[in-house]
A and B are shown apart, each in its own frame.
Chain A
């Protein structure tokens, strides 16, 4: 098979078609402190300046030889633009929303600020995508990211209040999600216009918090609608145990699901029945952060043996992850391929 460009490889994998080698990409983030030091683009500035953001994002290709670039490192850019109380942190910690100080009480409060897409913290991602597109041309896929309404609801209403509301008043919850999805569309489309080839949609209806039935009740329809309306492939990201909702996710029409190491690759593949591509699921805290390259490669092999289409860390990686463990993901794919071809 002829050597594919990174873009061809990733797109074929997303479409569950043949590839010259399985691609490696993290649809969430591979920002690390080592890379921040290397290219002089530290957090939190790299989350707030397009130039620094693009410089740090580019290391995914230049240093790790992954097959895509994902410049949105956190999950808070829209929430900052909406007006949430922010904690920007330092180089070795993620910026976060202070969810104990929610800005809205209910669906009637949900309104898109006039300057939503011109706000510094949304514009940084849009401008970074433009820089990366110019710098890397069309053969490297750029993965944008736009938060789903469930994740935004945690930020604007507070996690506890929002989850209590799902039982106290489910209709109100549905109305709030319906209104919040406007942010998902606006920011996603702006990134597509800027040059994003693919969008990750994190929407953290995780099995650590809610049941699989919740996914069907509150989100499946909204995600199906997104898959129909966005003009680029979508990768849904949900952390934690999700195998109980994977069959429903696989029916949404999204191209891929980025899954957590709490789900074994084989059981995940069985759950989705080849109706959606899987992206994942190298363990972050125990393997990438704490172990060595041998253990990383072992997990890469497990994913590839199960048939996972795109190899990736399970989520945004801990910021102090060693580079050698990230490089080992790409090397692990090459090792597997050599072994596979021999047999």
Chain B
């Protein structure tokens, strides 16, 4: 399938037709080096990812190419494996750590390049919830996909989200929760935005292990991100809708 045998085996975990096409096409014509970066990222091999990224940049390969053809291709397969319960959070965390090792070389170049971001996203874990792994994975994926992301951290009250909105003027606000006991605070935040008249100015997205589409709908959210990969797709869709609305 691909030049890199290990990556070809990893690709066997991608079983949805649309994803086979999308991810397969994205990997198909990439160099062996890009495929090696993607494979090392899936394995969570931070040293190899860091070293190869540096080497590629020194060879004159663009930061965007390494990001798209190496790191994000690897992360797409990680996202699929995570969603399909083939791997779990520890395995995602070591891949995320490997991605970070690559991004350490790429990020300074991308931010100097002045490329227009996909959009602005404000992220936070809701009030009473101090879990941040899911939120941090989303932030990493969103940044990798070209969004500017502002992180409010954990235990974020409705008022904090509103202050963050005033300060950063994001297109999308992403709320995360790990606990069933704190999930209702997503609804309270959405209601707070209604109460202070800001609800129509921003799209509100929710996600987290116990959150479901049904719950998101009941709370009045604009989108539900089932996983970090899905959150990126939903954020892109929301930005398009918002642009249409503004035009």
Residues of A within 8 A of B130 (CB): 87, 96-100
Decide yes or no: A167 and B183 within 8 Å by CB, A100-B130, A160-B133 being known contacts: no
The SS class assigned to the A binding surface is loop
Q: How large is the interface on A (under 10, 10 to 19, 20 to 34, 35 or more residues)?
A: 35 or more
Kindly name the residue among B87, B90, B129, B218 whose own CB sees the greatest number of chain A CB atoms within 10 A.
B90
Q: Determine the residue in chain B with the shortest Cβ distance to A168.
A: B94
Residues of B within 8 A of A314 (CB): 180
| B185 CB to nearest chain A CB (Å) | 8
Interface membership of B112, Cβ < 8 A: no
In the assembled complex, B128 has its CB within 8 A of some CB on chain A: yes
What 0/1 readout, one digit per residue, does chain A (155-171) give for beta carbons within 8 Å of chain B?
00001100110111000
Contact of A315 among B180, B212, B215 (CB under 8 A): B180
**A290 located at the interface, meaning its Cβ lies under 8 Å from any Cβ of chain B in the complex:** yes
Query: Does B83 touch A at the CB level, under 8 Å?
Result: no
Q: Mark A76-97, 1 if CB is under 8 A from B, else 0.
A: 0000000000010100011011
Does the CB pair A89–B89 fall under 8 Å? Answer: no
Cross-chain contact of A240 among B128, B136, B209, B218 (Cβ < 8 A): B209
Interface string of A281-310 (1 = CB under 8 A from B): 000111001100000000000000000000
Is A131 part of the binding interface, using a Cβ–Cβ cutoff of 8 Å? no
What are the interface flags for B213-224 relative to A under an 8 Å C-beta threshold, 1 for contact and 0 otherwise?
Answer: 011001000000
What separation, in Å, do the CA atoms of A314 and B183 have in the docked complex?
14
Asked if residues A94 and B128 are in contact (CB atoms below 8 Å), the reply is yes
Known: A284-B181, A318-B181. A163 touches B209 (CB 8 A): no
Residue of A nearest to B91 (CB): A167
Complex: A94 Cα to B126 Cα, angstroms: 12
| In contact, B90 and A320 (Cβ under 8 angstroms) | no
CA distance A185 to B232 in the complex (A): 44
Known: A87-B130, A208-B210. Contact between A285 and B94, CB under 8 A? no
Pick the interface stretch among A195-203, A209-217, A249-257, A326-334.
A209-217
| Distance to closest chain B CB from A94 (angstroms) | 6
Q: Is B89 in contact with A210, judged by CB distance below 8 angstroms?
A: yes
- Which residues of chain B from 177 to 208 have a CB within 8 Å of any chain A CB? 178-184
A316 part of interface (Cβ distance < 8 Å) = yes
Asked if B155 and A87 make an inter-chain contact with CB atoms under 8 angstroms apart, the answer reads yes
| A318, B180: Cβ atoms closer than 8 Å | yes
Q: Check if B212 sits within 8 Å of A286, measured CB to CB.
A: yes
Does B44 lie at the interface of the complex (its beta carbon under 8 Å from any beta carbon of A)?
yes
A164 with B133, Cβ < 8 A, contacts A209-B89, A284-B180 known: no
A166:B215 contact, CB within 8 angstroms: no
B143 within 8 A of A: no
Chain A residue at smallest Cβ distance from B132 = A100
Q: What's the Cα separation between A93 and B125 when bound, in Å?
A: 14
A167 in contact with B90 (CB, 8 Å): yes
Closest to B136 in A: A160
> B128 — which chain A residues lie within 8 A by C-beta?
89, 93-94, 96
Chain A residues with CB under 8 Å of B209's CB are 206, 208-209, 240
In the complex, A317→B87 CA distance in Å?
A: 29
In the assembled complex, how far is the CB of residue A338 from the closest CB belonging to chain B, in whole angstroms? 30
In the bound complex, do residue A211 and residue B88 qualify as a contact, i.e. CB atoms below 8 Å apart? yes
B133, A285: Cβ atoms closer than 8 Å? no
Contact of B97 among A96, A164, A316, A318 (CB under 8 A): A164
A166 touching B90, Cβ below 8 Å:
yes
Given contact pairs A93-B127, A163-B93, A285 touches B88 in the complex (Cβ within 8 A): no
Known A-B contacts A96-B128, A159-B133, A164-B97; the reply to A210 vs B90 at CB < 8 A is: yes
Interface string of A85-129 (1 = CB under 8 A from B): 001010001101111100000000000000000000000000000
Q: How far is the CA of A130 from the CA of B24 in the complex (A)?
A: 64
Measured CB to CB, the nearest residue on chain A to B89 is A209
Q: Are B181 and A94 in contact (CB under 8 A)?
A: yes
A-B contact pairs, 12 of them (CB 8 A): A94-B182, A160-B93, A160-B133, A163-B93, A167-B94, A207-B88, A209-B88, A239-B210, A284-B181, A290-B215, A316-B181, A318-B184
Closest 5 CB pairs of A and B: A208-B209, A93-B128, A284-B180, A163-B90, A209-B89
